[in-house]
Amino acid sequence: MSRVFPAYTYGQGPREHCYWPATATPPHFPAAEGAITCDVAVIGAGFTGLSAALHLAEAGSDVVVLEAQDLGWGASGRNGGFCCLGGSAASDSMLAKLYGEPARRDFRTAEHRAVDLTAGLIERFAIGCDTHSRGETLLAHTRKAMNAFDAKARLIERDYGVTATITPQQDLAAKGMNGPFFGAITTPIGFALNPLKYVIGLAGAAGQAGVRIFTGSPVQRIDRQGAYTLTTPRATVTAKRLIVATNGYSSDDLPGWLRGRYLPTQSNVIVTRPLTEAELAAQGWTTHQMAYDDRFLLHYFRLMPNRQMLFGMRGGLFSSAAADARMYQVVRQQFEDMFPAWARVETPYSWQGLLSISRDLTPFAGPIPGMPGAFAALSYHGNGVAMGTYAGALLADLVQDRVPRNLYPKIMQTPPRRFPLGRFRRAALWPVYAMAMVTGG
């Protein structure tokens, strides 16, 4: 496999101290063995692949999921658990300029529907995944950002048809959101969840619908002679159709079309031990609202139902045990800066993972050009809980040659362009990250 990061990134190191496996154990699935045939083979057992598999099996397809490691091993089983709007990192003006205003609006509607689809699956399959938070709160880290919230509220009303609530700085403490913030705006869409429990629930639903899931089964080759033949260490899987759902953990050669079309990017999370009531009161952060700030390398944080605080931050160019240790110090320092009353609170859990961004900062779900019968969905720009689930559902319809039941925005139909610099393309992030660190943004 030709990959962008060193081998360390794709091993156990970055997730060794992940919190979620302490809360749930994925069921055991066997490795694929021998000659297997199916209608549709899905590569990758994260939100995208499992949602596609579930929706396909419900429609009557015989589906096989092949996962290199364990269920939800990629970003899906180690993210922050914000089920929220998002999926693109492009601004409104950029989206409108590149695709037109109707397409931009469609995309915003799809973001909202992605959250609804995810909530609907959780309810339909009674997935216990520790949900909390009513919508999502953005905290201003500058006065300028706070001053822009009135305009932002109008855009939220226009694009999502909901009314956002603005909390001025002086009212934050009363709402249990004390911190170095200039105000907040809450959009009443979305909720938080335990991502590993959600993955396990999706897999359970898919299994009930007849999907065969194989773990420890990395696809090493993709061949096509009429049907697709996927080679794993111990199996040959022949499928009429193929879905590639590997996102940030993709390889540049599986299939070759992916080469240069995704940029794996790191995100980092720490989780505290349970905080006492006194500790929560001392900091004045008592809300269970999921929150993030408006920095470029944004912080995302939420007090989970069991009073453990999760705190995440994007960033990190290098990947190794030493780089992870350095990144832990950076994240930990920023946590202490934001919540000084917790400077002595232990954070026994810390981990890293890969999300994917695309050159045009938009997600893709659709047919792979030049590979008849093959489809891919990727690049949700760090917001793939809802959007990955949604993209999987879109792929399920496309694979069956059906017009998608869910809104299929033009923006998501446009195949990603290649980044320059080939395998070294993550170097392009260096000046962007350096500038963000220098400006505190």
Ligand X SMILES: Cc1cc2nc3c(=O)[nH]c(=O)nc-3n(C[C@H](O)[C@H](O)[C@H](O)COP(=O)(O)OP(=O)(O)OC[C@H]3O[C@@H](n4cnc5c(N)ncnc54)[C@H](O)[C@@H]3O)c2cc1C
**Binding positions for ligand X, rule: CB under 6 A:** 43-49, 66-69, 73-76, 78-82, 84, 218-219, 245-249, 251, 254, 267, 269, 300, 312, 353-355, 380, 382-385, 388
CB of 357 to ligand X, least distance (A): 10
CB of 385 to ligand X, least distance (A): 3
How, if at all, do strands 136-139 and 290-293 pair? Answer: parallel
CB of 281 to ligand X, least distance (A): 27
Decide: residue 83, CB within 10 A, 0-12 exposed, 13-18 middle, 19+ buried: buried
Q: Cβ closer to ligand X: 266 or 279?
A: 266
- CA 31 to chain centroid: 25
Q: Cβ closer to ligand X: 228 or 249?
A: 249
Q: In the bound complex, which residue of the shown chain has the CB atom lying closest to ligand X?
A: 384
Q: Cβ closer to ligand X: 178 or 265?
A: 265
CB of 169 to ligand X, least distance (A): 26
Tokens of 315: 């960033």
Prior bond of 415 cis (ω within 30°): no
CB of 306 to ligand X, least distance (A): 17
Q: Cβ closer to ligand X: 248 or 409?
A: 248
CB of 420 to ligand X, least distance (A): 23
CB of 230 to ligand X, least distance (A): 8
Alpha helices in 209-311 (DSSP H): 277-283
Element holding 388 (H helix, E strand): helix 384-399
Residue 398: count of CB within 10 angstroms of its CB: 21
CB of 418 to ligand X, least distance (A): 19
CB of 40 to ligand X, least distance (A): 15
Q: Cβ closer to ligand X: 84 or 146?
A: 84
Residue 400: count of CB within 10 angstroms of its CB: 16
CB of 387 to ligand X, least distance (A): 7
Q: Cβ closer to ligand X: 385 or 398?
A: 385
- List the one residue out of 114, 42, 129, 32 whose CA is nearest residue 391: 114
State the Cα–Cα distance between residues 321 and 422, nearest whole angstrom.
25
Q: Cβ closer to ligand X: 102 or 305?
A: 305
Tokens of 396: 């399920």
Q: Cβ closer to ligand X: 108 or 341?
A: 108
Element holding 235 (H helix, E strand): strand 235-244
Packing angle of the helix pair 384-399, 47-58 (nearest 10 deg): 40
State the Cα–Cα distance between residues 148 and 143, nearest whole angstrom.
9
State the Cα–Cα distance between residues 39 and 41, nearest whole angstrom.
7
CB of 69 to ligand X, least distance (A): 5
Q: Using the structure block, give the residue that is written with the tokens 């939100």.
A: 47
281 close to 341: Cβ distance less than 8 angstroms: no
Angle at 102 between CA 100 and CA 108, to 5 degrees: 105
- Beta bridge pairs of residue 303: 309
Q: Cβ closer to ligand X: 142 or 414?
A: 414
CB of 45 to ligand X, least distance (A): 6
User: Which 8-state DSSP code applies to residue 74?
Assistant: T
Three-state secondary structure of 163-210: CCEEEEHHHCHHHCECCCCCEEEEECCCEECCHHHHHHHHHHHHHHCC
Tokens of 266: 């790191």
Q: Cβ closer to ligand X: 279 or 324?
A: 324
State the Cα–Cα distance between residues 204 and 198, nearest whole angstrom.
10
Q: Cβ closer to ligand X: 8 or 148?
A: 8
Alpha helices in 241-307 (DSSP H): 277-283
Q: Cβ closer to ligand X: 178 or 389?
A: 389
CA neighbours closer than 13 Å in the CB half-sphere of residue 95:
21
